[in-house]
Structure 1
Amino acid sequence: MTVNPKIEEAGFRPASRIGAVGVSKILQIGAKAAAMKREGLPIIILGAGEPDFDTPDNVKDAAKAAIDAGDTKYTALDGTPALKKAVVEKFRRENGVDYEIDEVTVATGAKQILFNAFMASLDHGDQVIIPTPYWTSYSDIVEICGGVSVLVSCDAEAGFRLQAEQLEQAITPKTRWVLLNSPSNPSGAAYALQDYRPLLDVLLRHPHVWLMVDDMYEHIVYDDFKFVTPVALEPALKQRTLTINGVSKAYAMTGWRIGYAGGPKALIKAMAVIQSQATSCPSSISQAAALEALNGPQELLKERRESFQKRRDFVVSRLNEIDGLSCRTPKGAFYTFASCAGVLGKKTPKGNTINTDADFTDYLLQEAHVAVVPGSAFGLSPFFRISYATSEAELMEALDRISRACAELR
């Protein structure tokens, strides 16, 4: 068979919608570190955004029971009635928010919830306000869906939280959504009642702007911090708010891929249209597991939160002892977002200058064999993110290596 040379020469042409979108920097660093580890180097990877705990036994047992019972067929498009009811009860029990069954959606992870919502609501050029530092998938999904990401820098002095004045200034007639994540990936910053209130007052003055909140780290908060979700504070915003959550982080179920959300019926219905032409229903087995996670014993959440807090305290303390680094104490999630401003301009033992946070994290990977993620990947420099969702022994060794690597800079 003869191949048309023009076709062969042309090769693959990617769609323009993904022209500026690449694979996550976090995944790129993780893949590079994993490859170095396979080569025999003693790499410690502190980039993973998932708990090191196992999925609870009762959840695994529920999945096995579902398999044995033959619950292996297609389910309702955006969640089984039983799981949707459990989500409704979860919102009522833990957040004081009342949703009806048809105001709830379940998808293959919270990332699909985000994608469905933006695909269902954004027209070309619509704007989405995203505070930085931010989880990079937010802006990439917005761009794929035809929207424009309006990134608003939130510095350390403000606790990495969006301020009311910044929100007011960022809103335009084209603003469709503002997206808030609390506790935050990557900074661990969290919005208490008094932090949310001024932002909600701004939104009340701009009825064309909808609010999307990512509460995925709700159960991983520390000290005396009281988690709250915006709709519980301002019911008047309920009809233009999508509240996103899932089982991935709290229940160590990242691979099960179940996210859920509550929002206005019209939006939930539109999101179902998108899901119907993408994945259709989430995994029936994963939904059975998520049902048990939400309805089953919750004591394990407290135990694991206490373990994370112990690790947080250790990592923050060690980072603040290292010359050139400084780290705020995060209120939640399982990340630290430390400044490396104090090492910029210094030279490595090989004579290379550390000009950026990416230079610094590359130096740590190559010379200290510790993989962390630069703040530039999250839209704010010069910082770097450590995930402390790993063993205490690995954290101790990693911080020792980082300390030695920084001491060798001149």
Structure 2
Amino acid sequence: MKFSLAERVSALTPSTTLAITAKAKEMKAQGIDVIGLGAGEPDFNTPEHIIKAAYDSMTEGHTKYTPAGGLAKLKEAIIEKFKTDQNISYSPSEIIVTSGAKHALYTLFQVLLNDSDEVIIPTPYWVSYPEQVKLAGGTPVIVEGKEDNSYKITPNQLRDVITDRTKAVILNSPSNPTGMLYSVEELKAIGEVCVEKNILIVSDEIYEKLVYDNNAHTSIAEVSQQFKEQTIVINGVSKSHSMTGWRIGYAAGDASIIKAMTNLASHSTSNPTTTSQYGAVAAYLGDQQPVEEMRKAFEERLNIVFDKLNSIPGFHCLKPQGAFYLFPNVSKAANMTGYDNVDDFTKALLAEAKVAVIPGSGFGSDDNIRLSYATSLDALEQAIERIHEFVVSKSK
């Protein structure tokens, strides 16, 4: 017997990052020496004090349901984090804890969007933004963040695409995949347009702790009280504390939106995993030194391999300010090596050079590839050497 699928899922584009990562793992399982630079997660284990707190919570009997919107003590830890890091205040009614930051975004769009409502998404974008908007019945409006503006959009670009159906704009700083940060001045200019046009700012700050070379992350919610009231902040412990598999994220903002998200969560997930929530409390209230040590390790890797990557013929990469990705423009390299497009170039890298990277088309940027440096320095240097040899040999 065959069953037809709902139109909303039939139109979904599979995650490019997960597909490439799965293919690389499959090749490795076959004994092929593949270096995978596709994964979007730190290669460090979760800090020990977090693991201990989660274990202790289980032995103490904290293994039952929690409130749908999260443990009160975790909300308080998140509120304290906002006070410490951004000097802004939220109440518990303005916080929802979710099963990862991805779930926070999904739930937000489900409660926010009606059919044909528009959400402005700058390119390059994280692969799930457009798909989540479409799942909620909305329409993604794609705006190109140009390379000569460090892949960021301008206030004029934003203003030009706002219509009477525009509901929100997504900002991701530091960005996945580019690693770029919006400055305070840029945030102020964009925020003023959003306030003037009364559109919601969805500020994805999941990489906020991973910034390098004396750069600093600023949340648009801390720029002004007016911006804060116009913003839903999305964050979590996945990247900052190397807790990707724990699945704890959160949203902070307008209490009526948070209440609607909590009501929806009560009918979908019941609550985020109880044990993980106790771990997240320890992540925010405990020792932050492991976070800084991980940040320093990523910074060291970036500064060692960045010039080597740019030395590959046909590669041009802006130096990222945060996250753990490199996003070079490789359109010239693809052309030099005889490939019609970067997607084919990427497939050849995996098949022949045995290096797995993510094609930029999955991020709305056809000329680029994304490489994660959340892997060992030795693997990074080997991968770049393989790519270099591949390009040189194919160009002859």
Q: Which amino acid aligns with 1:387?
A: S
The answer for the alignment partner of 2:147 in structure 1 is 156
Q: Secondary structure at the match of 1:269?
A: helix
CA drift of 1:204 comes to 2.0
1:32 paired to 2:23: yes
Q: Which amino acid aligns with 1:173?
A: D
The answer for the alignment partner of 1:86 in structure 2 is 77
Looking at structure 2, the residues matched to 346 and 396 of structure 1 have their Cα atoms a distance apart, in angstroms, of: 22
Match of 1:398 among 355, 379, 383: 383
Give yes or no for contact 2:233–2:251 (8 Å, CA) kept in 1.
yes
TM alignment of 1:207-246, pairs within 5 A: 207=198, 209-246=199-236
Looking at structure 2, the residues matched to 357 and 280 of structure 1 have their Cα atoms a distance apart, in angstroms, of: 42
The answer for the alignment partner of 1:409 in structure 2 is 394
Match of 2:247 among 252, 257, 262: 257
Q: Which amino acid aligns with 1:377?
A: G
Relative to the length of structure 1, the TM-score reads: 0.95
1:362 paired to 2:352: no
Q: Which structure 1 segments of 5+ residues have no match?
A: 1-7, 348-352
Question: Aligned residues, how many?
Answer: 395
CA drift of 1:119 comes to 0.3
Looking at structure 1, the residues matched to 394 and 184 of structure 2 have their Cα atoms a distance apart, in angstroms, of: 42
Q: Secondary structure at the match of 2:129?
A: helix
The answer for the alignment partner of 1:282 in structure 2 is 272
| Structure 1 residue ranges, 4+ long, deviating more than 4 angstroms after superposition | none
Looking at structure 1, the residues matched to 108 and 230 of structure 2 have their Cα atoms a distance apart, in angstroms, of: 12
Q: Secondary structure at the match of 1:242?
A: strand
Give yes or no for contact 2:195–2:230 (8 Å, CA) kept in 1.
no
Looking at structure 2, the residues matched to 29 and 36 of structure 1 have their Cα atoms a distance apart, in angstroms, of: 11
Give yes or no for contact 1:328–1:337 (8 Å, CA) kept in 2.
yes
The answer for the alignment partner of 1:16 in structure 2 is 7
Q: Secondary structure at the match of 1:205?
A: helix
CA drift of 1:265 comes to 0.6
Relative to the length of structure 2, the TM-score reads: 0.98
195-204 or 291-300: bigger deviation: 195-204
Give yes or no for contact 2:314–2:336 (8 Å, CA) kept in 1.
no
Looking at structure 2, the residues matched to 267 and 240 of structure 1 have their Cα atoms a distance apart, in angstroms, of: 11
Looking at structure 2, the residues matched to 252 and 115 of structure 1 have their Cα atoms a distance apart, in angstroms, of: 22
Looking at structure 1, the residues matched to 360 and 166 of structure 2 have their Cα atoms a distance apart, in angstroms, of: 26
Looking at structure 2, the residues matched to 236 and 345 of structure 1 have their Cα atoms a distance apart, in angstroms, of: 48
Give yes or no for contact 1:316–1:328 (8 Å, CA) kept in 2.
no
1:197 paired to 2:188: yes
Looking at structure 1, the residues matched to 366 and 106 of structure 2 have their Cα atoms a distance apart, in angstroms, of: 27
Looking at structure 2, the residues matched to 341 and 158 of structure 1 have their Cα atoms a distance apart, in angstroms, of: 18
Give yes or no for contact 2:70–2:272 (8 Å, CA) kept in 1.
yes
1:120 paired to 2:105: no
TM alignment of 1:242-321, pairs within 5 A: 242-321=232-311
* Superimposed CA distance per residue, residues 202-253 of structure 1 (whole angstroms, 9 cap, x where no aligned partner): 112112x111000000000011212110111021122231001100001000
92-101 or 235-244: bigger deviation: 235-244
Looking at structure 2, the residues matched to 50 and 80 of structure 1 have their Cα atoms a distance apart, in angstroms, of: 25
1:176 paired to 2:158: no
Looking at structure 2, the residues matched to 240 and 125 of structure 1 have their Cα atoms a distance apart, in angstroms, of: 21
Looking at structure 2, the residues matched to 109 and 178 of structure 1 have their Cα atoms a distance apart, in angstroms, of: 20
Distance 1:146 1:28, change over 3 A: same
> Alignment RMSD, CA only?
0.9
Looking at structure 2, the residues matched to 320 and 398 of structure 1 have their Cα atoms a distance apart, in angstroms, of: 13
Match of 1:337 among 321, 327, 334: 327
* Superimposed CA distance per residue, residues 67-105 of structure 1 (whole angstroms, 9 cap, x where no aligned partner): 100100000111111000101111111111110011111
CA drift of 1:396 comes to 1.2
Q: Which amino acid aligns with 2:178?
A: S
Q: Which amino acid aligns with 1:310?
A: E
1:107 paired to 2:83: no
Q: Secondary structure at the match of 1:326?
A: coil
Give yes or no for contact 2:108–2:261 (8 Å, CA) kept in 1.
yes
* Superimposed CA distance per residue, residues 107-126 of structure 1 (whole angstroms, 9 cap, x where no aligned partner): 00001100111000100000
Q: Which amino acid aligns with 1:218?
A: E
Looking at structure 1, the residues matched to 112 and 311 of structure 2 have their Cα atoms a distance apart, in angstroms, of: 47
Looking at structure 2, the residues matched to 356 and 203 of structure 1 have their Cα atoms a distance apart, in angstroms, of: 36
* Superimposed CA distance per residue, residues 250-280 of structure 1 (whole angstroms, 9 cap, x where no aligned partner): 1000000000121111000000111011111
Give yes or no for contact 2:119–2:138 (8 Å, CA) kept in 1.
yes
Give yes or no for contact 1:200–1:234 (8 Å, CA) kept in 2.
no
* Superimposed CA distance per residue, residues 4-32 of structure 1 (whole angstroms, 9 cap, x where no aligned partner): xxxx3xx1211011122032011111111
Q: Which structure 2 segments of 5+ residues have no match?
A: none
Q: Which amino acid aligns with 2:232?
A: L
Q: Which amino acid aligns with 1:274?
A: L
The answer for the alignment partner of 1:350 in structure 2 is none
Looking at structure 1, the residues matched to 53 and 209 of structure 2 have their Cα atoms a distance apart, in angstroms, of: 22
